[in-house]
A and B are shown apart, each in its own frame.
Chain A
Amino acid sequence: MSPQPPLPITWSFQPMGEAALLVQAQPDPALDPAELAANRMVLALADLLDALALPGIEAVVPAISSALIRYDPAQLPPARLHADLRRIVARLAPVPAMPTRVVTVAVRYGGAAGPDLVEVAARLGITPAEVIRLHTAQIYRVLMIGFTPGFAYAGMLPPALHLPRRSTPRTVVPQGSVAIAAGLTGIYPAVLPGGWHLIGHAELELFDPQGEPPCLLLPGDGLQFQVHPDSSVEPL
C-alpha cells in the first residue's frame, strides 16, 4: 500500500490537569467530512505513540477527533511533550481511508429486537424498510471505543439517518441492541442505560475482559451491518 499523504489538520493542545494533555485535531473546512480526516489522524497518532513508547507517556486514549495523552510531568515536562508532539504531527500520515479489517454483523431489525425502528422511520420521514436499507448500505468506521468497555462508536451515518438522542434515556438497554444517534451507530456490549434509538439486535460478544485485545471491534475497523433472515421487517 502506498503511504498516505498528510491531511490538512490544525492541532491544538490543552492540559487536562497536570498529568494529561488533550490533543485535538481540527480538519480543514475544505475537507469532505466523509473522509473522517481528524479521526484517521488521531488514530495514527495513538498508534505511533504506542509504537514509540516515549518515556513518561503512560497511556493514550484516542477518541473521535482527539487523543488524551496521560503522562508523568516529573519524567516528561509539558514543554518537551508539546515540542515532541509538534514534531510528530507535522509528519504524521493518516491511517488508510479504507479499513483494513471489516467486521460483518447480522442484525434482526424491528419488532421486539428494534423497538424504536417504527418511530425512527416516522421521525425521519421514511419507511422502516428504508431505514434498514440505509443502515446496511455502507461500511462504517469504528471511530472510538468509550462510554463502557467495548462500546464502539461507528460512523458516519448517512444524513438521512441523523437523529438526536432520545430526550429520555432508557434505564435498561438489552445487550446486543443495535442503535443510532447523532450521526453514529453502535451496539450495546452489555445491559446498560442508554439514550440511543434501538433499531435492531445482534447476537455477538463485543467485550471479553480475558481477551487480548478484549474487544471484537477496534478503533479503525470497518463495520458492515447485514439483515438477519429473522428480521421482522423486510428490507426493500
Chain B
Amino acid sequence: MNTVARVHDAGMLTTIQDGGRTRALRYGVPQSGAMDRFALAAANLLLGNRPDAAALEITAGGVELELLAPTLFAITGAEVPVTLNGWAVPTWQVGYGGRGMRLALGYRRGDWGARCYLAVAGGIAVPAVLGSASTYLPGAFGGYAGRKLAHGDDLHAYPCQRDPAAYVGRAWDLASRPAYRACPSVRLIVGAHADLFDAATLAHCTSTRYHIGPSSNRMGYRLHSPQALHPSSPASIASLGVLPGVIQVPPDGQPILLMADAQTTGGYPIIGVVITADLPLAAQLLPGDQLQFAFTTHAEAVAARAQLQHWLAQAAHLRPRSAAYAAPV
C-alpha cells in the first residue's frame, strides 16, 4: 500500500465511498457507497481503475490535500475550481502531481453541484467491511475508521504501475455525462402505493418545484413544497424493503427521497421511485436546491440506464494514448 496524500483541510464532509455494499441488506445494513455512482465510475475509469473502486466523496468542496507521492488523480462530479500548487486543473480529466504538491478544491461556482469524486490510480485503500470500503457514518463503520476525513489523515492507495504519460490529460466527454443542471427534472416510475393518492395529488407531485430541506443528508432528502401529499384514505403498510430512489410520503405529507445511506426497510407509502439513471442528478443537489419530478415508463428507464452503462463501457475500453506500457489493475 502506498501513502498518497495527507488531508490538510477535509471540508464540510468528505468520506471514502465505493460502489456500495449489498451483501448485508437483509441484516439492515444500508447500501451506502457514492451518492453519484456515475461520477465515481467515471473518475475510476479515467484512471484505469475498477469502476466501483473506492474514492473520496467530497461534499460541497473546500478540501486541500498534500500529495505524499507522485500521483495520478481524477476529479469528477460537481464542477468546482481545482488547483495544483495554485495552477488550475480541469475536472473530469486525469491530472498528475508530484510529492509535496497541494491539491485544492474550492466551492461550486454554478447553481448545481454537491459532490466531487476524487479518485487516485489504484484506488483508495481501506479495509473492507461487509464487502465494501464505503463509509456508513450513522453506524461508524467502513471507510476511514467509520468516520469522515479530518485534518492530518493520511490516505493510502493500492499499488499500481501506470505510465503517467499514457494517462495525463485523458478527459471525459461532456456529451457522455448525465444532464447535470440546476432544478433537474428527475424521472419516476410509479410507486407501489401510488394508488393511495388521487389524481390531483399525483399531478401536484409532478408540477411543483421541490426544495431540498435543511436536514437532508446521505440517508435521504426531505422535500418541501407548499402543498402536502396526503393519501385519499389512511394506509397501514407492513415494513417492506426499500432502496435509494424510493420516494416515501410520511404523515406530514412532505415526501422523502431515499438516497445512498437509506435504511433498508420502510413503512411509509411509496408514491414513486426515481429511475437509476437520474439518481446522479439528485445526488448533485444540496439543501436549498430544487428539483422537479416527471413520471416515466419502465422502458424509458431501462433505456436511460443502458445509455449511462454505454458511456461507462466506452470509457472502459479507452486505450491510453501511449501503448508503451500500462499494467493491468
Contacts and interface: CB of A to CB of B under 8 A. Distances in A.
A44 interface: no
B242 A214 contact: no
Interface stretch (A18-26, A80-88, A222-230): A18-26
Contacts of A210: 129
A179 to B, nearest CB: 15
Contacts of B241: 16, 22, 61-63, 66-68, 146
B275 A150 contact: no
Interface string B129-150: 1100000001101100000000
Nearest to A192: B138
Contact of B129 (A15, A209, A218): A209
B24 interface: yes
- Counting chain B residues whose Cβ lies within 8 A of the other chain, the interface size class is 35 or more
Interface in B4-48: 22-30
A144 B239 contact: yes
A56 interface: no
Nearest to B277: A18
Interface string A208-234: 011001110011000000000000000
B273 A46 contact: no
Interface residues of A, number: 43
A70 B22 contact: yes
Interface string A144-161: 111111110100000000
B270 interface: yes
B199 interface: no
Given A16-B246, A148-B263, A74 B240 contact: no
Interface string A1-39: 000000000000011111110101000000000000000
A190 interface: yes
Given A66-B240, A144-B265, A16 B270 contact: yes
B238 A147 contact: no
Given A148-B263, A209-B129, A210-B129, A153 B26 contact: no
Given A18-B276, A73-B302, A146 B263 contact: yes
A60 interface: yes
A18 B26 contact: no
B192 interface: yes
A69 B105 CA distance: 39
Contacts of B273: 15-17, 20
A62 B27 CA distance: 10
A174 to B, nearest CB: 16
B305 interface: yes
Interface in A165-224: 190, 207, 209-210, 213-215, 218-219
B245 A17 contact: yes
A222 to B, nearest CB: 18
Contacts of B270: 16
B259 interface: no
A215 B242 contact: no
B130 A209 contact: yes
A151 B28 contact: yes
A165 B203 CA distance: 32
Contacts of A145: 26-28, 264
A70 B243 contact: yes
B22 A17 contact: no
A235 interface: no
Interface string A43-76: 0001000000000001111111111101001100
A141 B299 CA distance: 40
B263 A147 contact: yes
Nearest to B236: A182
A17 B265 CA distance: 15
A146 B22 contact: no
Contacts of A62: 26, 241
A146 B274 contact: no
Interface in B244-270: 245-246, 263-265, 270
A68 B240 contact: yes
Contacts of B243: 16-17, 20, 68, 70
Interface in B157-193: 189, 191-192
B139 A209 contact: yes
B309 interface: yes
Interface of B: 22-30, 129-130, 138-139, 141-142, 189, 191-192, 238-243, 245-246, 263-265, 270, 273-276, 298, 301-302, 305-306, 309
List 5 tightest A-B contacts by C-beta distance, closest first: A68-B241, A146-B265, A61-B241, A18-B301, A17-B273
Given A66-B240, A146-B263, 19 more contacts: A19-B276, A19-B305, A46-B26, A62-B241, A63-B241, A64-B239, A66-B238, A66-B241, A68-B242, A70-B25, A70-B243, A73-B305, A144-B239, A145-B264, A146-B239, A146-B264, A148-B139, A151-B28, A213-B24
